Amino acid sequence: MSARTPRWLVGVLLGALTLLGAGLAAETGAAEKVFRFACACDLTKVYTFAVEEIVQAQKDYVELLNLKGGVSGHRFEFLVEDSGNEPQRALEIYERFKRQGALYFDGWSTPIGKALTPRVLEDRIVLGQMFVGRGDAVDGRTFPYVFPMGATYWQQMARAVEHIREREGGAPRGKKVAFVYIDSPFGREPLPVLEELARRLGLEWKGFPVPSPATEQSAAWTQVRAFRPDWAIIWFAGPSTPAAVREALRIGFPLDHLISVVWIGESDMKVVGEARARGVLRVEGWHTGRDVAVVQEIVREVYEKARKGHGPVERVGWTYYNIGLAEVVQLEEAVRVALRTSGEPLTGEKLKRALESFRNFDARGLRPPLTITAEDHGGGQLTRIGQWDGARWTTVSGWKAPFQDVVAEQVRKSAEEFRRSGR
C-alpha cells in the first residue's frame, strides 16, 4: 500500500485478511479432526479371496461412521493400496501413509505383518493383525504396538484338536488324525502344537504337506485315504481351500470330520458346491451372517438409504466381511476411548493405551468378549467351531481357548527368539 491509501480502505483490507486467516484456521482445524488408518494389503495376488470382502466392509463402516458425524467430531478416513503381498512394497506404502498421518495399519498377510513389525515398534504406530501375522505378538510386552486381538494359528490348532476330543467323548486315544497343509510357513506353524497335543491325548497323526500353491492335491489325498484317518484338519487359504474339500469328497472322507483353519468362507463353498460341501467344520473367532445389528444397520443406512455401498450387497455379512468389520468397529471404540481419556491430538501411543483398556468388548456383537491388557494383546483367543449346513455357517460349539499352556509355550519361545534376533 502507498502512503496515500485511505485509512478506511486499510481497515477494510485488514478486516478481510483477518476473516481469511480465520477461515484458513478453521479449515486447518477441520482437516486435523480426521482419524486415518491404512491397509497395505493384497488386492491382486494371493489373498484377494479375503481382502476384497475385508476392504469392502471397512469402507462401508467408515461410510456409516461419517454419515453419523464421525467419532467425537473426528471423521474417519481409510487409506488402502495394493501391496501385491510384497513386503518391500508394503513398507513403501507404510511410509507414504505414515506421512499422511495414519496411526493404525494392517496388511492382512503374515509376511507383510512380519515386515512391518520392527517399523511400527520404532515409530510407535499400531499394527493390527487379526488371525494373521506373528503368533507371538499376543505378548504385549515384547510387541507393545502389535495387536492380534484374536486367536493365533497355534490356538486355532488347539481348538481343532479340542473339538476332536469333545466329539470322541473326551477319550480320543488311538484315533487317527490327518493334517493336510500347504507346505509354507503358514502351513507348518501349528505343527508343534499338534505334535504335543497328540502326545498328550494319545492321538496317532500324520502330516501331508502339499507344495505351494496347493491347488493340486490329489496325490496327498490319495495318501490320506491309505492312512484311513478318523479326522482330518486342513490348513489352506484361497483357492487351495476348496481344492482340499473337493479332494476329501473324492476319496469319500466325511466332511463332518473335516476341520479347517479360519480361512474358509462362503466363496469357497460356492466353488465346491454349496450343497456338496454340507458338513464342513471350521475354527472361527467371530459371528458370520446378518443377524448382528451393526450388519443390518450397514445394509439399511449405507446400501439402501445412502446407496454408497463399496461392493456387492450380497457379501455383507459373509465370513471375511464380518472379520474386517470387527476390526474397524474395534478401532472406532479405541479412538473414542483415546479421545475421552487422553484428549487430542490422537497418537499411536494413545491408541495403544485405549486398546489395552478393552474389557469384555464384543465389537457390537461381532465376536466373543475381548479383554486386552498391556501383557496380553490376544484378548483371550476365544474360538468356536462352525459348520456349513449347505447354505450358511452354523454354530456347533461354545467359545473356548483350550490348552493354553501349550500355546503359551510357543508364544514364549518365539517372542524370546524375536528379542534375541529382531526377527
pLDDT, tens digit, 9 for 90 and up, residues 47-65 = 999 999 999 999 999 999 9
Taking the CA atoms of 253, 256, 257 and 262 in sequence, report the sign of the dihedral they define. Answer: positive
Residue range 331-358: average pLDDT? 97
* Structure confidence at residue 422 (pLDDT): 82
Q: What is the per-residue pLDDT across 98-114, written as a single tens digit (0 to 9) for each?
A: 999 999 999 999 999 99
Q: Is the pLDDT of residue 364 over 80?
A: yes
Query: Rounded to two decimals, what is the model's pTM?
Result: 0.90
pLDDT value at residue 6? 53
Predicted confidence (pLDDT) at residue 363 exceeds the cutoff of 60:
yes
Segment 128-177, tens digit of pLDDT = 999 998 999 999 999 999 999 999 999 999 999 999 999 999 999 999 99
Residue 30 confidence (pLDDT): 43
Q: In this structure, are residues 123 and 348 in contact, taking their beta carbons and an 8 Å threshold?
A: yes
Each residue's pLDDT tens digit, 78-97: 999 999 999 999 999 999 99
CA 67 to chain centre: 25
Among 308, 373, 377, residue whose Cα is nearest residue 117: 377
Q: What is the pLDDT of residue 333?
A: 98
Cα separation, 273 vs 269, in Å, equals 6
Q: What is the pLDDT of residue 1?
A: 46
Q: Which neighbouring-strand residues pair with 37? A: 78, 104
Residue 4 has a pLDDT of: 52
- pLDDT at site 106: 97
Q: How far is Cα of residue 233 from the mean position of the Cα atoms in its chain?
A: 21
pLDDT single digits (tens) 217-266: 999 999 999 999 999 999 999 999 999 999 999 999 999 999 999 999 99
Kindly tell me if the per-residue pLDDT of 352 is higher than 50: yes
Quote the pLDDT of residue 320. Answer: 97
Q: Give the mean pLDDT of 394-420.
A: 96
Residue 371: band (very low, low, confident or very high) from pLDDT cuts 50, 70, 90: very high
Q: Does residue 404 sit in helix, strand or coil?
A: helix
What is the predicted pLDDT for the residue at 423? Answer: 81
Average pLDDT over residues 309-314: 98
How many CB atoms are located within 10 Å of the residue 324 CB? Answer: 28
Decide if pLDDT at 18 tops 50: no
> Please, which pLDDT band fits residue 391 given cuts at 50, 70 and 90?
very high
365 within 8 A of 377, measured Cβ to Cβ: no
In angstroms, the CA 391 to CA 288 distance is 12
